Structure 1
Amino acid sequence: MKRSVQTTTLVTNENNMAFNGETDKYYLEKEELTLDSDEDYQYEEVPVDEDFVPGEIEEDLDLAVRTIREIDEDGQATVRREGLPKPTVTQRPEVVDDFVRNFLVRMGMHRTLDCFQTEWYELQQRGLLQEEDVGVAPDVYTKNQELSEEIEFLKQEVNKYRDAAMKAKDTYVKLRKERDYHRMHHKRIVQEKNKLIQDIKRIKRHYAQYEPTLQQLKKKYEVAMKEKMLSRLERDRALGQVSGLQSTLKSMESFKGGSPLAQSAGMSGMRQRRGVEVDERGYGPTQRTLAEERERSADFDVNNFPQDYKRHPNDSEFPADMGVNPYLAQAKNAPGHLTRTGGFRQSNSFQAHSQPVSSVALHPRKQILATTSDDNTWKMWAVPGGDIIMTGEGHTDWVSDCDFHPSGSKLATSSGDTTVKIWDFSKAECVHTFTDHTHAVWGCSWHSSGDFLASCSMDNTSKIWDLNSLRCRYTLRGHADSVNSIEFLPFSNTLLTCSADKTLSLWDARTGLCAQTFYGHMHSVNQATFSMRGDTVASCDSYGIVKIWNVKAVAPMVSFDVGPHPANHVLFDPTGALLAIASNGGTIKMYEVNNGRISSLVGHEDAVQCVAFDKSGDYIVSGGSDSTVRIWS
């Protein structure tokens, strides 16, 4: 089978070109080619050999493959020796007119090409061009053209290799910098390694020197532990003897009506059993310190003077301690006092100061509230409306506490500037400043008579001021750290203080002596307060632990945790059935004494610093670090 393929050839008839301005004429010549097909090819059939042996075929095949490989190796060796034959290229010389035409076409000179062809063919038709004149183009022109092309190619190659060289140079510079960096880093690491090795060797030598000392200390420790155990045994035996003596003294007391010596010994033994170190007089650490202080100032103690003697002619007399609180009956008769626990809701709030509110105090007779702040001022407000009445300026540092005079005509303030100021509302000014404290004053409290004012300070002391003689009557020493709060039991001469030394103390204001100390807190006690009846004390510390103490038993009745935030202030309501705790977490915790249930009053945006109950228990006032006062009713 054959296929016909049509091809078209472009032929230029140069001989029939018109020279009279006509355009060139082209002719198409059609040719037909035949291609052979593999479908009609007759293959020769090869007969199969009947004596076919597979083993011989395989051997012949291996032999043939081996022979072909040897031939290929010989041929390759011959080619390597003789070299590959160079291909021959036959180049036909180019005639002059074609050379010119190609040059003009390559240069894009088409108009010149038209003029050249017109004149060339015109001269050829006239016979002016002889065969010897129309020859081939000289070789020098062809070589020049080839050299020009080669030059262009080489320029391109040069540019390409130049770019490659620049990239290689940049890479080399980068690698050299990295090498230098890593080499420097390696040297530094080697130096540090050598230094560490030297340090380790020095430490090992130093440790080797301590080994004998450690062994010796270990032996001493074992000996000390043995002695400690023996001492404990001796102590237990001595305690047994003391218990026997106490029982003997008690039996003697039953016959003799009880002697002071036996009572003192019994009290001393009781304090020893509680873990408090006492001396032969039965004094604990606080009483011992006070006794030493009294001995140093024995010549100036009021007990050494006659009964009617006065150190200052204007000194006030402490009233008799009757133990009757008239507000207690009002609190018991207050309507709904048993159902108010936990039922408070925020009724009003106002911006009181520009900085945190440190304390609040309610007027004893009028609906007036006093507030103090870290902005060095105190202010008076009408409650529950929140209208400002008065502003007091005079302290040079933050004002920590305030308390209304029992008559309501004066206000006492304490401050971080180590002073206590008395403000008289009728004169609208500060009438006196007490300056005996040497550090910041944390709190103040009026005596129910209005003639005495107590204050506590960071200088580890408390002071009792006489408002008539305008001087310090007593300095209460005994706490080993800052005294954080102080409070008079209403209509009594008893003072309650708490301290950063983790203790609470009861003081007799008439003598300035410590009557009792409460131990149990594990952290700094921030504030302590009496209940209305005076038989219970509540205290809170910097870890949120609140304790309620039985004053007569000198022991905690209840201890609970409102942490993890510190508890800043505690206060009983007038009935004593509810305890308000100002928490640093921004809430007021309400603890019901009867059932131990705790609820929260949420509203402050920052720590709550202080709380105050109305005399009737109808509402609570609180102040916080958010500079606001909030009223809960």
Structure 2
Amino acid sequence: MAAAAGERIGEDGAYYLEQASLPGDSDDEFNYEEVPIDDDFASEPDEDLHAAVRTIQEAQEDQEALMRGERLVPPPVNLRPELVDDFVRNFLVKMGMTRTMDCFQTEWYELQQRGLLNEEDVKTVPDLYTRNQQMDDQVKTLRRDLDKFKNAANKAKDTYVKLRKERDFNRMHHKRVVQEKNKLIDDIKRLKKHYASYEPTLQQLKQKYEMAMKEKMLAKLERDRAVNQVAGLQATLRNLESGSRDSGSLEFSKADRRLMFASGVGPTQSAVRQAREMFSRPRQPDPENMDVTAQPQPRHPDDSEFPVDTGVNPQLTNIKGPSAHLTRTGGFRLTHTIQAHSLAVSGIALHPRKQILATVSDDHTWKMWAIPSGDIIMTGEGHTDWVADCDFHPSGAQLVTASGDATVKIWDFSKAECVHTFTEHQHAVWGCSWHTGGDFIASCSMDNTSKIWDLNSLRCRFTLRGHTDSVNSIIFLPYSNTLLTCSADKTVSLWDARTGICGQTFYGHSHSVNNATFNLKGDTVASCDSYGNVKLWDVRTCAPMASVDVGPHPANRVAFDGSGSVLAIASNDGTTKMFEVASGQVSNLAGHEDAVHSVCFDKSGDFLVSGSSDCTVRIWS
């Protein structure tokens, strides 16, 4: 049982306290009644629960969005006026008169229970001053909001006026641009119609120009033939006057052959057939029956003599088998990188005796580097356009460069300057090569010709005509008078440098041939074209030995190692591809960031050098 205090009102109306007992609550004595599960509630689907959860989530999201607003709406507050007792009580609490407040509450509640308090005595206390202050504050707040909204409205008005002016201006500008565009379209249509009337005239002028160039070339050939006839007649008269018929006949026969093979004009198939027929006919000893047109050209007193072509290459004795990287695990690896030029590196050449590399670039310069350290030795400036190729003199004392400015320049290292410039090409010069003897240079050009230059007489000895499109590369077979050229007309040709005669032509490429080269033995030719097709040719049979497709990116240059067992291919996809001739396997050397334009092996096969459009030269060993 628990004790509790209760109140009792006596007869005199006073309150008395008395003790009362309450029964204690015990959980054990309480009778629980099992509530049955409502079948309807149990059978409700889970969808109602999901819908309720979703509704709660949406309400929370709405509340969060409302709280994130610019102005938060305060919750409504209901102000209740103070009653008289609350007013007195608050006053007493504020003044700290707690005993007085106790006496006041006792008397107040007692009088209220007895009903001795009048209704007007317990009314609410009027708070006019507080109400007036609240209304003043509200008025001030509303006025402040009103001023703020007025300022915002004025700013919006100014922005609207500004945007309307800009809209009108842009609309007028658009109309003006449309009018100008329509006017330009009309002018272009009139110009197209006007120039369409000139097209037949241009075609006629082009045909007349081509006919004039052909007539000019034929006239030049006729002139050279007439000069040769005069020279032959003079030689015949001298031989007749000397009275030596037999020796004269023999001398004339040699001159006839030199004339057929050494004329400045390039060979044609019909000319070759006529020459063979003429050489196969028995010659008459009578000078009156001689063909006086087959006489030697006038020689320059400073002309060089081509060395005797023995066919022996002394470098073959130093080759001792396949390249070193074939017997080494992992093959070539990138060891050094040289930041060579400010533009693409288009050609490279190794010094014949020293560890020196020459590079040429689209930045109109050539440079020499010490390898593998990458220290710069010399820089050459003088070309007015990109430099495409270079080659060292066999002694290593000079360098020849070919450029897009249609010139071939010879640079002397001892004088540190350009000592001569050949300017007879009509278009950009793609390639150059030095003869092993050091007295001749061969160059090829976009004007469809190749030229052989004599360094003693400083003149063009032969112009090789036969290709019908740009000649893209040219190279001398070492220790030989044989030249190899390739052209955009999809052919590769072999020439005799002593006569300027085309000896063999290789047919098989379907696209422009970018480069061709010999192996060291000279019995195999490798060529690559603009679609990545690489072919190996047998020089004796003119038949293809092998073919590999490393496309679709163009193959820019090829180079054999010293043993001829590996072919390096510079590809436009930024890699140098290594083709093993025996097995036909192809591997990639990746390192360049752009197209690889040139590649060459060291004579010993210890390292490989490549140049790229990323302006760098990389050494692989």
TM-score, reference length from structure 2: 0.54
Q: 2:533, 2:476 → 1: CA distance?
A: 23
- The one-character-per-residue Cα deviations of 1:239-285 (angstroms, maximum 9, x if unpaired) are xxxxxxxxxxxxxxxxxxxxxxxxxxxxxxxxxxxxxxxxxxxxxx9
Identify the match of residue 498 of structure 1 among 467, 486, 491: 486
2:511–2:529: 8 Å Cα contact kept in structure 1? yes
Count of paired positions: 351
Report the equivalent of 2:466: 478
Counterpart residue type for residue 569 of structure 1: R
Give the direction of change, closer, same or farther, for the CA distance of 1:489–1:292 in structure 2 (3 Å limit): same
1:582 pairs, out of 559, 563, 570, with 570
Assess if the C-alpha contact under 8 Å between 2:323 and 2:561 holds in 1: no
Query: Alignment partner of 2:315: what SS?
Result: helix
The residue type paired with residue 386 of structure 1 is G
Instruction: Please say if residues 495 and 503 of structure 2, whose CA atoms lie closer than 8 Å, have aligned partners that are also in contact.
Output: yes
Q: 1:531 aligned to 519, 522, 526, which one?
A: 519
Match of 1:445 in 2: 433
Partners of 1:342 and 1:590 within 8 A in 2: no
Are 2:544 and 1:565 aligned? no
In the TM superposition, residue 337 of structure 1 has moved relative to its aligned partner by 7.1
Instruction: Indicate whether 1:432 and 2:413 are aligned.
Output: no
**Match of 2:404?**
416
Match of 2:588 in 1: 600
Contact 2:391 2:433 in 1 (8 A): yes
For the residue of structure 1 that corresponds to 2:319, the secondary structure is: helix
5+ residue gaps, structure 1: 1-22, 29-107, 110-284, 296-300
State the percentage of identical aligned residues.
71
Match of 2:269 in 1: 288
Match in the other structure for 2:501: 513
Cα distance, 1:366 vs structure 2: 0.5
2:49 corresponding residue in structure 1 = none
Q: Is the 8 A contact 1:316 1:451 kept in 2?
A: yes
2:295 is matched with which residue? 305
CA distance in 1, matches of 2:292, 2:396: 32
Is the Cα contact below 8 Å between 1:399 and 1:416 reproduced in 2? yes
C-alpha distance in 2 between matches for 1:502 and 1:291: 21
Which residue identity is paired with 1:460? Answer: N
Residues 464 and 341 of structure 1: CA distance in aligned 2, closer, same or farther (over 3 Å): farther
- The aligned residue for residue 489 of structure 1 is 477
Q: TM-score if structure 1 supplies the norm length?
A: 0.53
The question of whether the paired residues in 2 share the 8 Å contact of 1:290 and 1:477 is answered with no
Q: Is the 8 A contact 1:346 1:631 kept in 2?
A: yes
CA drift of 1:564 comes to 1.4
Q: What is the CA distance between 1:329 and its match in structure 2?
A: 1.4
d(CA) in 1 for partners of 2:474 and 2:468? Answer: 15
Q: Secondary structure at the match of 1:328?
A: helix
1:304: Cα distance to partner? 3.4
Shift of 1:25: 4.9
CA distance in 1, matches of 2:615, 2:392: 21
The counterpart of 1:405, out of the listed 388, 393, 403, is: 393
Per-residue deviation, residues 498-538 of structure 1 (Å, max 9, x unmatched): 00000000000011011011000000000000000000000
**Inter-CA distance 336–374: structure 2 relative to 1 (3 Å threshold):** closer
Structure 2 counterpart SS, 1:332:
coil
Distance 1:575 1:289 in 2: 39
Retained in 1: the 8 A contact 2:323–2:562?
A: no
Give the structure 2 partner of residue 458 of structure 1: 446
In structure 2, the CA distance between the partners of 1:428 and 1:459, relative to structure 1 (3 Å rule), is same
- SS of the aligned residue for 2:269 comes to helix
Distance 1:342 1:506 in 2: 37
The one of 334, 345, 349 equivalent to 1:346 is 334
CA distance in 2, matches of 1:465, 1:292: 27
Cα distance, 1:480 vs structure 2: 0.6
Secondary structure of 2:316's partner?
Answer: helix
What whole-Å deviation, never above 9, does each CA across 1:377-432 have from its counterpart, x for those lacking one?
A: 00000001000000000000000000000010100000000000000111110000
Q: Secondary structure at the match of 1:327?
A: helix
Deviation at 1:305, TM superposition (A): 3.4
Change (3 A) 1:464 1:335: closer
Distance 1:26 1:619, change over 3 A: same
For 2:353, the equivalent position in structure 1 comes to 365
CA gap of 1:27–1:339, structure 2 versus 1, over 3 A, is: closer
Is the partner of 1:476 in helix, strand or coil? Answer: strand
Deviation (angstroms), 1:288 = 2.5
CA–CA separation in structure 2 for the residues paired with 1:409 and 1:343? 33
Deviation, structure 1 residue 332:
2.7
Kindly tell me: are residues 344 and 433 of structure 1, through their superposed partners in 2, closer, same or farther at Cα, counting changes over 3 Å?
A: same
Please name the residue that 2:538 is paired with. 550
Give CA deviations for 1:416-471 in whole Å, capped at 9, x if unaligned: 00000000111110000000000000000011100000000000000000000000
> Which runs of no fewer than 5 residues in structure 2 stay unpaired?
1-116, 123-130, 133-265, 277-290
Give 2:578's aligned amino acid: M
Aligned residues of 1:622 and 1:629 also touching (Cα < 8 A): yes
Rg larger in structure? 1
Letter in 2 for 1:305: Q
